[in-house]
Chains A and B, each alone.
Chain A
Amino acid sequence: MGFSQTAVFVIVFATSLLLAGVMLRGTLHAQQEITDGWREAQQRTERQREAAMAITDVRKTGPTLIIEATNTGSTTLDLGGADLLIDGAWATPQITSIQVEGAASNVWPPGSDAEVNLEPGVGPPPDNVALIADTGTAAYWRS
């Protein structure tokens, strides 16, 4: 009986250790996923809170529509990830060039001016322009 008890104890003990490892692995994986997600959500919320911009002018020169805007927030925006709506329609593919403070760039620091040029074709200037930053923050211009 003594040997039986020892054998049972060894089996139960070894299995307990193994299962504790399995449980720990699952828990650590879950904790890592939640921590990563939480960090991403915090960074995103902070950027969205700090993002703000204003469209200062919209004019048309020939077929080119020129949109001028200022980053009025406190975070740097990525104009490469921005979107444009012209009279409610998605017009991002019509963008031909982006300039920040007169130089070709997508990096838009706080306080700086950006100029977005696009070729919407021949026609009158639009009545409504919406510029949406990579954070989802929007600025509107009305004629």
Chain B
Amino acid sequence: MAGSAAGESILFIGSILITVAFVGVFSGVVQNLSRGVGERGDVLGDELASDIAIINDPLAMTTSPLTVYVKNTGTRAILTPDVSILLDGVISVSNTKDVLGSTDDDTWLPGEVLQITVNDLTVSPGDHRLRVVAPSGVDDTFAFAS
């Protein structure tokens, strides 16, 4: 009788331990999944709410050095260190970014204009295509002739 009770106790404790272990692992997986879904929502929301526009005058471009004006026409702030600029498909790795009229050149608020001065790419005579890409993946392209 006592042996039977001890056996049942062992089975009981064992089944509880196995269940708790299983539930613990499963909880971690579900919490990670939930966090991932939430973060993906943040990224998609940012992408939808972000927008930029290259506002240069195509007939009055400053090309030496190439100076590009980009307006934040979305509703989210954009981090300028992560903004990329390409000229004819070639990415610039040496450029200066200045949020005009602001003392914080790293944060580009809605409505503000970002001036990008490209130091490492030269503009040869002919047709060109500029592309500016924000960290959210939102981009704008601009064609001009020099």
The answer to whether A93 has its CB under 8 Å from any CB of chain B is: yes
Q: Does A1 lie within 8 Å of B59, measured CB to CB? A: no
Stretch in A19-27, A106-114, A116-124 with 4+ CB within 8 Å of B: A19-27
Least distance between A2 CB and chain B CB atoms (Å): 10
Q: Which of under 10, 10 to 19, 20 to 34, or 35 or more describes the interface residues of B?
A: 35 or more
Contacts of A18 in B (CB 8 A): 27
Least distance between A77 CB and chain B CB atoms (Å): 12
Q: Which of B41, B47, B62 contacts A88 (CB 8 A)?
A: B62
The answer to whether A30 has its CB under 8 Å from any CB of chain B is: yes
The answer to whether A29 has its CB under 8 Å from any CB of chain B is: yes
Contacts of B16 in A (CB 8 A): 4, 7-8, 11
Q: Which of A12, A32, A40 contacts B48 (CB 8 A)?
A: A40
Q: Does A136 lie within 8 Å of B71, measured CB to CB? A: yes
Contacts of A88 in B (CB 8 A): 56-57, 60-62
Known: A85-B55, A92-B113, A130-B55. A34 touches B60 (CB 8 A): no
The answer to whether B31 has its CB under 8 Å from any CB of chain A is: yes
The answer to whether B40 has its CB under 8 Å from any CB of chain A is: yes
Residue of A nearest to B100 (CB): A90
Q: Does A132 lie within 8 Å of B71, measured CB to CB? A: yes
Residue of A nearest to B73 (CB): A136
Contacts of B37 in A (CB 8 A): 23, 26-27, 29-30
Q: Does A40 lie within 8 Å of B49, measured CB to CB? A: yes
Q: Does A34 lie within 8 Å of B56, measured CB to CB? A: no
Q: Does A36 lie within 8 Å of B26, measured CB to CB? A: no
Interface residues of A (CB under 8 A from B): 1, 3-5, 7-8, 11-12, 15, 18-19, 22-23, 25-27, 29-34, 36-38, 40-41, 44, 48, 81, 83, 85, 87-90, 92-93, 127-128, 130, 132, 134-136, 138, 140, 142
